[in-house]
Amino acid sequence: MNPANLQTNTVPIDSALSAQPAPRSPERRAAPRPWQTPPAPVPAPHLDDYESIVGAAELSELRFLARELKGKTVKMVNSTAVGGGVAEMLNRLVPLLSEVEVATHWDVITGGNDFFEVTKAFHNALHGAPYELTRAAQEIFLAYNEQNRQRMQFTEDTVVIHDPQPAALIAARKDREPQANWIWRCHIDLSNPNPQVWGFLRPFIEQFDVAIFSSQSFARQLPIRQYLFYPCIDPLSEKNKELDESVVRKTCDEFGIDRSRPIVTQVSRFDRLKDPVGVVQAFKMARKYVDCQLVLAGGGASDDPEGAAVLKEVQEAAGNDPDVIILDLPPWCALEINALQRASTIVVQKSIKEGFGLTVTEALWKGKPTVAGAVGGIPNQIIHKLTGMLVHSIEGCAYQIRYLLTHPEFAAQLGKNGREHVKENFLMTTNVRRWLLLLRLLQNRTR
Ligand code: UDP
C-alpha cells in the first residue's frame, strides 16, 4: 500500500450511512458492503446454549441456586430499552433469570427531552464534570420520577433500579410493598462526583437496602450494604461469539488489513480519554524495531463534534503512514469489531481515564495479549504480566507492544490466562450467578 492510499484506510461513518460510495478503490465500491447497513436482530440465547462455553456444571449450579427463589418476582428499572451497555446487559439478564423461574420484569422510565437533558448533565457531573445544580433541574428530575412512580406498579419481591435516572422511584417503597427489597445498581464511576449532584441524589440512594457497584474504585461511602458486581459480556453475542476464519478474513480484506503481518488494534470511540493519538505514537515507536500494522477502529465521530475533532487529530498523527488503518464505523458493527479483535496479534486499550473498559474484556475473551492503561476497571481485568500488560505512558505502551510481538510464547500465555480470567469473572453466566446469590441472601436476611 502506498502513502497515496492513506485515505482509503479511513472509512468515514457518513459514507457508511449515506448511499455515497466510500473513498476507496472503485472495484471495492461496486460490491455491497455488509457493515454499511444494520443487520437483522438475533434472537436471545437460552441457558443451555452456554453449555459449550461454561460447561454443564456451571449451568446446574445456576439452576440449583434458583431453586429456592422459584416464584419470586423481580422488577428491573432503567432509563432506556436500546443503546448503551445497561440495556444490552438487561436484554440478556432478564430472560435468563426468567428461564430459571425467577420471574423478572423489565420496565423503562419515560421522560421528556428536558428530563434526559438533566439526567445527562447529572451523569457527566457524577463523573466529575463541572455543573451548577439548579432548582429547575431538581424539579424536572423529581417531577418525571414521580410521574413514573404513579404509572408503574411495584408489587415485586425485589426492585432493582439501574443508575441515577430512576433513583427517586424509591419513594414507591413506602406506600406499595414495604417488605420488598430495593437495590440500587450503579453502573457509573462515583469516585469523584460533583458534590452538588451527589448531595442531591444521596438521600434517595440511602433509602435502598443495597447498592451495587462495578468496581471497588467506583464506590462511595454509604450507610447501606454494598456489593461488587463486575460488568459482563455475553459470549454468544455478535460481538463475542466464535467466528469462522472466513468471516475474519473477509472483514480484513474489506478494510485493507494485511493478515500476513502482525496487527495491533485499539477499538474505541474517538475520544481523547481513549488516547488514540498516544496509540499512534506508541505504534510508531514500536514499529522502528518490529514490523506491524495499527488498526484504530472507532465510531461516533460523525454525530459528535468532539469525536470528529479527535478523528482529525488521529489522522494527522498517522500522517501518510500506510500501516495505520483508521476505521470510523457505524454503531451496529458488532460482527466486524469481533472479526477485527480476532484478527489482531495484540489488542491495545491505552485509556487515560476509563469506566470498566469492556473492550479489554472482549479482547481477553478472544485470548488476545492485551496492553492497556492502568485506569478505571482495567486493573480488575489485567493482572500485570499474568493476564495482560498494564502501562502508564506512551513509551511504556510502545515497549510492551514491541516486547509481546517479539515474545510470542509469553504473549500466547497471557492471552490464555486472560480468557480464563474473563470466563471466571466477567461472563453473562457469572452475572446471573451473582444475581441469584444476592437474591437468596436478601430473601434470607432478617430486617
Ligand atoms: N464499540 C463499538 N464500536 C466502536 C467502538 C466501540 O461497538 O466503534 C464497543 C466496544 O466493542 C465495547 C463498547 O463499545 O463493547 C465500549 O465499551 P467500553 O467500556 O470499552 O468503553 P466506553 O465507550 O463505554 O467508554
Ligand 1 centroid, distance to 286 Cα (angstroms)? 25
Residue 30 located in a structural domain: no
Distance CA 157, CA 173 (A): 11
**Which numbered atom of ligand 1 lies nearest the CA of 341?**
11
Are 227 and 290 within one domain? no
Ligand 1 interacting residues, C-beta cut-off 6 A:
239, 267-269, 297-299, 329, 333-334, 337, 355-359, 362
Ligand 1 centroid, distance to 324 Cα (angstroms)? 20
340-384 pLDDT, tens digit per residue, is 999 999 999 999 989 899 999 999 999 999 999 999 999 999 999
Nearest CA to ligand 1 atom 11: 359
Residue 18 located in a structural domain: no
**Which numbered atom of ligand 1 lies nearest the CA of 274?**
25
CA 418 to chain centre: 17
392-447 pLDDT, tens digit per residue, is 999 999 999 999 999 999 999 999 999 999 999 999 999 999 999 999 999 987 55
Q: How confident is the model at residue 30 (pLDDT cuts 50, 70, 90)?
A: low
Domain count, the chain: 2
Are 176 and 292 within one domain? no
Are 274 and 349 within one domain? yes
Best probe residue, ligand 1, of 10, 91, 359 (max atoms within 8 Å of C-beta) = 359
- Is the pLDDT confidence value at 23 over 70? no
Residue 42 located in a structural domain: no
pLDDT at 4: 31
Which domain, by its residues, includes 244? 236-425
Which of these, 353, 301, 351, lies nearest to 363 by C-alpha position?
351
Residue 3 located in a structural domain: no
Ligand 1 centroid, distance to 268 Cα (angstroms)? 6
Ligand 1 centroid, distance to 373 Cα (angstroms)? 15
Are 173 and 287 within one domain? no
Residue 16 located in a structural domain: no
Are 295 and 151 within one domain? no
85 contacts 187 by C-beta, under 8 angstroms = yes
pLDDT at 174: 82
Strands 370-373 and 389-391: parallel
pLDDT at 380: 96
Residue 406 located in a structural domain: yes
Q: At what angle do helices 394-406 and 276-287 cross, to 10 degrees?
A: 50
CATH no. for residue 313?
3.40.50.2000
Q: How confident is the model at residue 8 (pLDDT cuts 50, 70, 90)?
A: very low
- Contacts (Cβ under 8 Å, ≥6 apart) of 315: 10, 326
Residue 421 located in a structural domain: yes
> Which residue has better confidence, 446 or 170?
170
pLDDT at 19: 38
Which of these, 237, 310, 240, 300, lies nearest to 275 by C-alpha position?
310
Distance CA 344, CA 292 (A): 11
Are 82 and 219 within one domain? yes
- Is the pLDDT confidence value at 267 over 70? yes
**Which numbered atom of ligand 1 lies nearest the CA of 349?**
20
pLDDT at 84: 78
Which of these, 145, 351, 339, lies nearest to 244 by C-alpha position?
339
185-195 pLDDT, tens digit per residue, is 999 999 999 99
Computed over every residue of the chain, the mean pLDDT equals: 91
- Contacts (Cβ under 8 Å, ≥6 apart) of 52: none
Task: Give 90-114 as a DSSP string.
Answer: HHHHHHHHHHTT-EEEEEE----HH
pLDDT at 446: 53
pLDDT at 113: 94
Q: Which residue shows C-alpha cell 510492551?
A: 400
pLDDT at 242: 98
Residue 202 located in a structural domain: yes
Of the chain, the percentage scoring pLDDT greater than 90 comes to 81
Are 255 and 126 within one domain? no
- Is the pLDDT confidence value at 16 over 70? no
Best probe residue, ligand 1, of 326, 352, 358 (max atoms within 8 Å of C-beta) = 358
Are 328 and 212 within one domain? no
Distance CA 224, CA 206 (A): 6
Are 109 and 138 within one domain? yes
Q: How confident is the model at residue 5 (pLDDT cuts 50, 70, 90)?
A: very low
For residue 173 the three cell numbers come to 417503597
pLDDT at 36: 81
- Is the pLDDT confidence value at 182 over 60? yes
Ligand 1 centroid, distance to 275 Cα (angstroms)? 14
Are 250 and 143 within one domain? no
DSSP 261: S
Ligand 1 centroid, distance to 321 Cα (angstroms)? 25
- Is the pLDDT confidence value at 135 over 90? yes
Best probe residue, ligand 1, of 11, 91, 267, 328 (max atoms within 8 Å of C-beta) = 267
Q: How confident is the model at residue 260 (pLDDT cuts 50, 70, 90)?
A: very high
Ligand 1 centroid, distance to 84 Cα (angstroms)? 9
Are 70 and 202 within one domain? yes
- Is the pLDDT confidence value at 32 over 70? no
Nearest CA to ligand 1 atom 23: 269
Ranges assigned E (strand) in 158-256? 158-162, 181-185, 210-213, 225-228
Lowest mean pLDDT among 4-18, 191-205, 288-302, 344-358: 4-18
Q: How confident is the model at residue 303 (pLDDT cuts 50, 70, 90)?
A: low
DSSP 257: -
> Which residue has better confidence, 85 or 161?
161
Q: Which H or E element spans position 310? A: helix 305-318
Are 243 and 298 within one domain? yes
Ligand 1 centroid, distance to 207 Cα (angstroms)? 33
- For residue 226, the cross-strand partners are 211
- Is the pLDDT confidence value at 268 over 50? yes
> Could you tell me the pTM of the whole model?
0.88
H/E/C letters for each residue in 404-430? HHHCHHHHHHHHHHHHHHHHHHCEHHH
Ligand 1 centroid, distance to 26 Cα (angstroms)? 31
